[in-house]
Each structure stands twice: as C-alpha cells, then as structure tokens.
Amino acid sequence: MKLMSYPRLGCHQMFKDEFMFGIYLQDFDQIKLSIYEEIEGPAIREKILNRDEDSEGDFFYTILNDIHEGLYYIWSVTDGEKEFPIIDPYGYEVIQNSERKYFNKIALLRRNETKRPNIPWTETIIYEMHVGHFTKAINDGGSYKALIEKLDYLKDIGITAVELLPIYLWNRHTLINMHPKTGRILTDEWGYNSISFFALDPIYATDKERVREEFKELVREAHDRNMEIILDVVYNHTGEGGEGGAFFNFKLLNRKAYYRHYGPYFSNCSGTGNTLNTSNIIVQEMVIDSLRYFVLEMGVDGFRFDLGAILAQGHDGEWMEGSLMHKIADDPILKNVKLISESWDAKGRYFVGKMPAPFHEWSDRFRDCIRSFGKGDKGHINQVATCIVGNDIKNMNPQSTTLPIHFITAHDGFTMWDLVSYNEKHNINNGENNRDGSNNNCSYNSGYEGETSNVMINHLRIKRMKSFLGLLIFSKGVPMIVMGDEGARTQGGNNNAFCQNDATVWFDWKRQEKFSDVTLFLKKAIALRNELKWYKHKTDKNIVWHGTKPNNPDWSFYSRSLAFSLTGEDFGVYFIMNNYSEPLVFNLPPAKYAWAVYLDSHQKSDFTALVNKSYLADEFSFCVLVDKKDNMDINIDPDSETNKMNHFLDLKTNSDQKHNFLAQNDSTNLSMELDNFLNQKNPSNIDKFLMKHLSQDMVGMDTKSLGAELDPKSAKSLGAELDPKSAQSLESELGSKSAQGLDSTETDKNIDKKIAKELQEIVGEKLQSKNDQDINKIV
C-alpha cells in the first residue's frame, strides 16, 4: 500500500507519536527496520521494506505509530546468509552497545538557542585543537565540558575561533600497526575516518546519552565569549576503507553512487582507500544537508574542508565547474559562515587559488616560505614580503578576493617547538619503522637533535619560536595557531601522531606554565595586531619596506633580514626580522615621540626600553618597536633584574654612529653567552667576548683610559685569572680596536667608560664565581 506522503531521508516526527523512516538504497531490493527500547535488549518491532511496495524509486520509507524520542533503530540488509546492520547516513545520534554494534537513536531537532558572533575575517585568530588531547589533563578530561573550562584561557590570549579536529562519528579501527614498545594495535585518534556526517562521536561527551546537548553547550559558551567554533570536516572519504575494508553503510547502500571508482576498483585520491563520489547528486545533497544541520541545529560558525580539492573535482578527478565546492559557496545558508579549504589532495591535484569565494584557503606557500626563512635559508626574502602582505595565494590567482589562511604548523607535522628542535622526524612509535609522515619539514634543530639541558640552545629555540609566531601574527592573512604552540608543546619529534593518545600528544599544562613567556609574546602580538588598521584594509599600499637602513630593503638572494613600517596608523610601528646567524644593527627613522621596544623575541616578553636612533636585533630574532606619546612616560628601573643592563640605552641617545649592545641584552643573556665562551676552556675567548661587545661601543676610547676604568679588575688581573698571556693580548687588542674611533666626542668617551666599567664588573665577578648558584646571584 502506497504511503500518502513524500519520502524523507533519516528519521522525522510526523505527528506526536508518528515517525517516518527513510533511506536511500540501490544495491538491494529489500531492507529491514528494527526498533529497540534499549541497546542491550532485543528488538521490540521489525518491518521489512520491499522495493516498489515501500519505495519511490531508490528511496525506501515507512511511517510507524507508537514511536517516541529516545528509542533506537537499525536498518539492515541480508547478503547470502549474513545480515549487515547499517548506520543511517542521516542519523542524528549513533551509539554502540557492549558488543560494539551501532544503533541509531530517534532524536528530535531543537535549534541551539545562540547567536553566532560573525567575527570578521580580518579580526579572526584561529586555534586548531584536538578536543581530547587539549583537555586530557584537566577536570572531565577529554570532553566538551573540559574545553569550556579553558575557553577563558584562549580568550585571554586573543583567540577568536576554535577549530576542532573531526568530531563526527569515526572508525578508529583502521590500522594494523603495532606500537613497538607496548605491543598494542594502534588506533586512529584524530577522527579523519568519518562513518557518519550527522552524528557526533560520543567520545567527547561525559554523558553518552547527551552528546548533542553537551556540544551545543560548548557552542553557546563560546558565543557568550564572542568566540566561534569551526569544525574540521572530512567529506572526501569515509572510514569504510577500500577493498576488504569495513561495512558501515555506504558500501552496502550504493557502492557506485557513494564512492568514486577507477574501473572496478575504488579510487584512492585521499590516501585512505576510498574517495567519496562528491560529483554524485546524492552525495552532494547529503553533504550540504549535513553542513546546514550543523549550522542551523548546532549553531557552529564554519568549516575547514579536509583535502578540499577532491570536493572540487568531477568523477574523473579533474577540476569541475559547478562542483560541490561551488554549490557550497553558492548556498544561501552556508555562504554566510566561515568556509576554509585545504585545496589539494593525496594524488597530487593542487587547486590552491582556484576555490570560489567566499572560501578562504590554507596557504602552504606561507608555511614553506616562512619555515625556510626562519631556519636561515637564502633566497626567500621576496617571497617573505609577498607573504607578509597576504599575496601568497593572490600571486597564483590575481582574481582571488579572500585572505589566505596562514599557518606555520598544523595538526599534521611538527609542533612549533619540534620545528626548532628536530632536523628529522621521529615516528618510530607509529609502528611503521619511521616510514610514515613527511620528510620535507624545513626544520632546524638549533644545534642539537631533541631535548637538551643546554641553556644556549634552549634560549635559541624559544627565540626562534617567538620569531615564528611574530611572523605569523603580523602577516596579512588569517593566522592559525596549533594547540600548544604558545606553550612549546612537543611530540618528541613525531610529525604524524594521528595514532597516539598519551603524554606524547596531550597538552602539558605544567610545561605551558614553564613557557608562559611564549604565551605572553603571542598575547601581546595579537593585541597589537588588533590595534592596527592595516590588517582590516584590503589594500597593501600602506606598507613601507626597510633594511638595516630605513627605506633601503635588501632584496638580494643572500638577504635574510627585512624591516617594515605601516603608514596611516594612530602611532608608529616598526617591525624587524633578522634571520642571519649574527646580530644586526637596524637604523630607525626619526620618532614623533620616542621608539620603545614592544616585543623582541630575544628578550623576555615583558621587556621594554626606549630606543633612540638604532636597534640591535639578535640573530634569528623578530622585534617590534612602537612610537607612541605615552612612551615618554616609560620609567625603566636600571636596577631591576630584567632591565639591569638596559639603562645604558638612555646614555647613548646623542650618538649618531654607535649602538649599545648592552642596552639590548639583559644580564641573563650576557651571562649565558659568557658561559658559552668559558666552557670552551680557551683563555683567549674572554678577549673575543669582550671585544665582541666592547668594540661596538667602546670605539673611541684610548687604551689608557679604558685600562684605568677597568682597574682594579684590569686586563692584567683578568688575564691572570685565565692565562698569564691573555692580559697582554687583551690590552693590545682593545687598544687596536679603540684606535679606530679616536674622533668620537668626549661625551661618548665618558659614556663608554661607564659601560666598560659595568661590563667589567659583571665579567670579573663571574670569573671569580665558583658555581652556577653564585653566577645566578650575580645576574
């Protein structure tokens, strides 16, 4: 008997206790619907649906009475003697029983009562995270509720959008790899093997019967803080795998419609065994229905499309006008939320720059360029400038109108700490003998592979990390920060940790406290970015390029330094990048009020100092100077621990040619460098140390005056402490250097004498120190 109603896919309430059940099926002529009171008990009702009798074409459907919310149902088909249960592709909630059998739960739609913040792209700062790994070490660890507890932490940093790695129901049992130490079979922990595009995986809910409600609560809490929730979604393949893979739904319902094929075989554009046939109308409608569901019902603010190039292809795997990506971009609902594309696939198709507006695209050009520049490679300076103005994708497609998504690290690949700590991947625990994961990391370990207690190396790593973050935040794109990069999270060099769920990947909150200075650097960078108008303008015309001298950038192949300033702002701002292996002096344009240090990756992030006409940027450093009226009120305490040396900066304001190194380096860093010289056990290195720093500012002092100022800790007594011969060499070397600048003014001579004395006292006391504790007291 024909039903007097139109078919609908999924389970929908018709009247109070009357529900319609519908499913798309082509490969079988019969399907069974079973209703359950509870997932551990027997079915309380069953109905067989037959083609033509209970279908309209390939849409099978029925209406049942005496049904209510909270019951469960299973579709199943029989092939030979085996019955296969089916997850409803349109099921809103799916849960497993103790035998790992999947049940669809009857659920009603209740729109999330929340208002999306609609934060402009120009003000968006994205934080990519894994819900479980981010929250594992706190109350209700590994859940949406635990994440809510940390929203204020993210808000305080300046994060506006939290991007969640996949949370759709997924098949975690796709591997045969064994952990080499524990012997256990590894599982997919990232969630990139979806088996439903509507149901949430229960893993992140504290109450498995309230999965949707707990997620909705997270969305509401984020919106209350003016933050957005973006979902990383996977519509390019499923967790059923290829030949020999599991059966959950799509393979049974219509293999050829749901999956792309190459002859009789599954296509594998995703690298995971199958490719969803997103050029098929059934699949396209399902994907769009899924996206609308999460916008309208759940209240999410946007989506990042994994391997989005596949969704822009036809059945032949080539670019297609009118593809699913075009339909999403044209959808009257979806085009008004944030849409992000990873515009490549696993078989080599590369569509970056081609995605239709309003899609914003991941920029691998930015990632690779900034990584190479940050490790000191030559030949990148022009591309660095292109990335800073946000034209890295537009250069490939001049018609592009959207900002690129800028990132240096992502969930797949090294964390930022590992980027500066490892030259090679260390994926042995993934059970593939270190064959998995990318070999093209563009990383530099800062002088030692892996964790070390070496103070100098760790200081360089922190400095390089902060420099990377500075380049990321102050480039004109949409910055994406990876979970834990603000706290130096490490995965021990594992650059493909998708199958790890232990301390290797969990956010370590104690470690974050240890590296809180990096967090402060990021927070201050975001705050300044939000003050500047340039990041809200479409044009890049208000930028002025500089080198070590104003208005004189070095665009040569060998250049590894660059500076820029922004015009049309309410205050002056000057950005300096030095990725040489030596410090560089950057001359500054005249200040309206006074230049002050806002950020310097070589310094503590709360460091500040007034600067006159030049600034010394340390190797591999990123510095930001600001010229504001209230800079005139800055009061630097010369006796404070952080600024012990920096009071010399004020003494040098009358010098046109000299630059005070000590003003740019706190005593801790100077002490660390001296340690490095002394540890080499070469007495003449103290000469080199003094000459490196004294010669930059002591030029113009004759040997006699310098010697008098050094006394009683003179070159002679200092040399005797090290090597009787070093006194003579130190004195002669200082004299030789000082002879180069005998024309300096008497004022500068007196200033330099004071600097020499202060430096000598530090060096002298340090040499007499017997242990590290004494050294720390001196510093």
Please list the active-site residues. Answer: 306, 342
Q: Tokens for 86, please give them.
A: 């089916």
Cα 508 off chain centre by: 16
In this structure, are residues 726 and 682 in contact, taking their beta carbons and an 8 Å threshold? no
- The position carrying tokens 């968006």 is 124
Alpha helices (runs of H) in 250-341, residue ranges in sequence order? 250-258, 281-296, 324-330
Separation between Cα atoms, residue 626 and residue 664, nearest integer Å = 15
Strand bridging mode 161-164 / 126-129: parallel
Residues 722-730: contacts with CB within 8 Å, 24+ apart?
722/683, 722/686, 722/767, 723/683, 723/684, 725/683, 726/683, 726/684, 726/686, 726/687, 729/684, 729/687, 730/686, 730/687, 730/690
Q: Tokens for 709, please give them.
A: 């100022």
- The position carrying tokens 């229960």 is 202
Q: Which residues pair with 543 in a beta bridge?
A: 566
CB-facing half-sphere around the CA of 758: CA atoms within 13 A: 24
Among residues 418, 460, 423, 415, the alpha carbon closest in space to that of 440 is found at 423
In this structure, are residues 208 and 72 in contact, taking their beta carbons and an 8 Å threshold? no
Q: Which residues have C-beta within 8 Å of that of residue 416, sequence separation ≥ 6? A: 408, 409, 465, 468, 469, 482, 485, 488
Among residues 132, 92, 135, the alpha carbon closest in space to that of 110 is found at 92
Separation between Cα atoms, residue 626 and residue 473, nearest integer Å = 16
Q: Which residues have C-beta within 8 Å of that of residue 476, sequence separation ≥ 6? A: 388, 389, 390, 403, 534, 535, 540
ω into residue 712 within 30 of 0, thus cis? yes
Q: Which residues have C-beta within 8 Å of that of residue 18, sequence separation ≥ 6? A: 63, 64, 65, 67
Q: Which residues have C-beta within 8 Å of that of residue 206, sequence separation ≥ 6? A: 140, 143, 144, 145, 214
Q: Tokens for 126, please give them.
A: 């994205």
A 10 A CB-CB count for 635 gives 5
CA distances to 132, 224, 226 from 205, rounded to whole Å, are 10, 21, 23
Strand bridging mode 126-129 / 478-482: parallel
A 10 A CB-CB count for 25 gives 21
Helix (H) or strand (E) holding 627, with range, is: strand 621-627
Cα 418 off chain centre by: 13
Among residues 112, 27, 107, 117, the alpha carbon closest in space to that of 73 is found at 107
Alpha-carbon dihedral sign for residues 275, 279, 283, 286: positive
Query: In sequence order, what E strands does 65-221 have?
Result: 72-79, 82-86, 93-96, 102-105, 126-129, 161-164
Strand bridging mode 228-233 / 102-105: unpaired
Strand bridging mode 338-341 / 360-361: parallel
Q: Which residues have C-beta within 8 Å of that of residue 653, sequence separation ≥ 6? A: 612, 613
